[in-house]
Amino acid sequence: MTAHAAVPPIIEVDRVSKSFGDFKVLDELSFSVAPAEKLALIGPSGSGKTTILRILMTLESIDSGHIRIEGEELYHMEKGGRLVPADEAHLHRMRAKIGMVFQLFNLFPHMCVLDNVTLAPVLTKGVAKEAAKRRAMELLDMVGLADKAKAMPAQLSGGQKQRVAIARALALEPRIMLFDEVTSALDPELVEEVLAVMHRLARETDMTMLLVTHEMGFAHDFADRVMFFDRGRIVEQGPPSEIFTNPREERTQGFLRKIIAAGHRI
């Protein structure tokens, strides 16, 4: 690990494989993430980077391998001295450690902003309604949307929706946050407001953050480490200064050239 060599990893991905039909998305993938590390996953579409986040959030199962969160198996549990597939109760316990923000926000359209943020803490952590509301207002204030608490999602812009989605995920106080192309669906002028919130989170919290993105400039500023993926494998990884300015692998160089040619800045 780059920065925290002595600390045990918060996420360990251990020889994980995953196929969709004949298509092998992840091929014996192994890596680990240190607590509080900010990790950016980059690579061409179809390289498996989003699948990794989805697997960590248990939205997608794995075909083989192991994932450990804080040393504990995600998809397996111990029963009679053997590892067996995890049941719902185990998955619920594990999911409590992880939060995710989606490309298309996935807000609940039938609830106001405030209810979107308070629903899960009240239901899953037994937080009292009033306390959940107070906390939600703090979070909405942090993402700059305290005045939209009573608005319905349909009344918000894409950037505002995504900031609500971030507040909603934070309300559960996860140790690990997954950001899946959170600015890809936004109009260019709305990207900044979302990135600013994420920058602030990265600076002010010790949450572990995994980020799949095509915003190379943001990945550069935000991440402690960048991983370049291609065809379900890690091609190259290292600190952003290294990967972006001096990539060793030809495929990384080719990918970055294409991204720059497409008008993205680094």
Partner 1 sequence: MDYSGYIALILQGAVVTAQLTVMGCALALVMAFVAGLGRLSRFGAVRALATAYIEFFRGTSVFVQLFWAYFVLPLLGVELTPLQAGVLALGLNVGAYGAEVVRGAVQSIGKEQREACVALNLTRFQAMRHVVLPQAIVPMLPTFGNNAIELLKATAIVSLISISDMTFQAQVMRAQTGSTLVPFATIMVIYFLFALAISGAIRALERRLTRGLDGVRA
Pick the closer one to partner 1 by CB: 115 or 224.
115
- Shortest reach from residue 145's CB to partner 1, in Å: 17
Largest Cα–Cα distance in the chain? Answer: 56
Give the C-alpha distances (Å, rounded to integers) separating 22 from 27, 59, 61, 236: 12, 20, 16, 25
Tell the residue number behind the tokens 């008008």, with chain if given. Answer: 263
Binding positions for partner 1, 213-252, rule CB under 8 A? none
Is residue 25 close enough to count as binding partner 1 by CB under 8 A? Answer: no
Query: CA neighbours within 13 Å on the CB side: how many for 179?
Result: 36
Which 8-state DSSP code applies to residue 111?
S
Is residue 168 close enough to count as binding partner 1 by CB under 8 A? Answer: yes
* Class of residue 112 by CB neighbours under 10 A (exposed 0-12, middle 13-18, buried 19+): middle
Is residue 106 close enough to count as binding partner 1 by CB under 8 A? Answer: yes
Is residue 154 close enough to count as binding partner 1 by CB under 8 A? Answer: yes
Is residue 120 close enough to count as binding partner 1 by CB under 8 A? Answer: yes
Number of residues that bind partner 1 (CB under 8 A): 28
DSSP-H helix ranges across the chain: 49-56, 88-95, 113-125, 129-142, 158-170, 188-204, 216-222, 240-245, 250-261
Binding positions for partner 1, 76-95, rule CB under 8 A? 88, 92, 95
Is residue 3 close enough to count as binding partner 1 by CB under 8 A? Answer: no
- Shortest reach from residue 182's CB to partner 1, in Å: 13
Write out the two tokens for 260: 């720059």
Which residues are near partner 1 by CB under 8 A? 57-59, 88, 92, 95-96, 98-100, 102, 104, 106-110, 112, 119-120, 123-124, 152-154, 168-169, 172
